[in-house]
């Protein structure tokens, strides 16, 4: 379960990548995930005190890929002050009054913190690419009709996203981008479970079936986005997502492996004077 097994370093075709891996029984995977999660949380605590790096975790995937439950399980051992989750949905009127990256810029993590983007800046080259008419809502100069949203437009947008991530990385943000690679058959099974279980009905929307009909178009757009934006400073990892416990553990292990490479992340030492007087401070408190 090495990060290099999932990191995209050269162009791929998603149809050639596995959607299912099984590393053991569910209970064993959950126990291992709990251990890995605690180790990542320890790194985050040191990073918070260190105050020089931030971590941005971008999670993308088709509907039902398991983004929400993965976030809940992988980060449950974190100190709440150290992690913020942002779920990017249809842009609000306020957000549409700015450029499309604005809402992502203002959600970037502060030094010492983790930010998780549940759906990300890539929605702007995924959903909008499958539905280019949505771009007209952004009121961009020179984009007056769908025919204006051509290949040159998308190439420029990829360039802008790459620049956004490069700028963030150069200023101390460690970036991870995960695509939860789900099979079409497994998505069907998960949608059926939402319909068959009354307590899951609220998760279902008729629009899920409408978007499912565009599966091939989405896969092509994901593939293009991954190939054009997986960089050394902001790599993509394609994680098999048909088995949820396995997907969670893979993602957590990647985080632990790569963050452990930052040997300079450590809690700051006390200044010499304070360190020399620790015993005196202790006695002062004990004799109150």
Dump pLDDT digits (tens) for 241-273: 999 999 999 999 999 999 999 999 988 888 888
User: For residue 29, is it left (φ>0), alpha (ψ between -120 and 50) or beta?
Assistant: alpha
pLDDT score at 273? 87
Spatial contact of 52 and 172, defined as CB atoms under 8 Å apart: yes
Say what percent of the chain tops pLDDT 90.
84
Average pLDDT value for residue range 85-110: 96
pLDDT score at 202? 87
Cα→Cα distances 24→21, 145, 249, Å: 9, 52, 11
The whole-chain average pLDDT of the chain stands at: 95
Give the predicted TM-score (pTM) of the model: 0.93
Spatial contact of 62 and 242, defined as CB atoms under 8 Å apart: no
Q: What's the sign of the alpha-carbon dihedral 20, 21, 24, 26? A: negative
Of residues 202 and 231, more confidence is placed in 231
Structure-block tokens of residue 74: 């992988």
């Amino acid at each position: 379960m090495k990060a290099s097994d999932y990191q995209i370093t050269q162009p791929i075709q998603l149809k050639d990548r596995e959607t299912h891996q099984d590393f053991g029984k569910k209970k064993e995977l959950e126990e291992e995930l709990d251990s890995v999660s605690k180790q990542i949380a320890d790194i985050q605590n040191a990073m918070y005190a260190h105050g020089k790096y931030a971590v941005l975790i971008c999670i993308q995937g088709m509907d039902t890929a398991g983004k929400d439950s993965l976030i809940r399980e992988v980060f449950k051992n974190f100190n709440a002050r150290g992690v913020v989750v942002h779920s990017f949905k249809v842009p609000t009127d306020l957000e549409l009054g700015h450029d499309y990256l604005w809402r992502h810029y203002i959600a970037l993590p502060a030094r010492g913190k983790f930010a998780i983007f549940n759906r990300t800046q890539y929605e702007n080259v995924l959903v909008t690419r499958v539905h280019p008419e949505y771009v007209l809502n952004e009121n961009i100069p020179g984009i007056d009709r769908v025919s204006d949203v051509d290949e040159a437009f998308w190439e420029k947008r990829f360039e802008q996203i790459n620049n956004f991530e490069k700028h963030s990385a150069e200023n101390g943000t460690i970036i991870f981008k995960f695509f939860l690679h789900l099979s079409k058959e497994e998505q069907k099974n998960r949608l059926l479970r939402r319909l068959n279980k009354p307590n899951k009905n609220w998760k279902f929307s008729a629009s899920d079936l409408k978007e499912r009909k565009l599966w091939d178009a989405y896969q092509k757009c994901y593939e293009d986005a991954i190939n054009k934006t997986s960089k050394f400073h902001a790599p993509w990892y394609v994680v098999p997502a048909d088995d949820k416990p396995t997907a969670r553990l893979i993602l957590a292990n990647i985080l632990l492996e790569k963050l452990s490479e930052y040997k300079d992340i450590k809690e700051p030492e006390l200044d010499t004077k304070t360190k020399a007087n620790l015993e005196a401070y202790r006695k002062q408190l004990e004799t109150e």
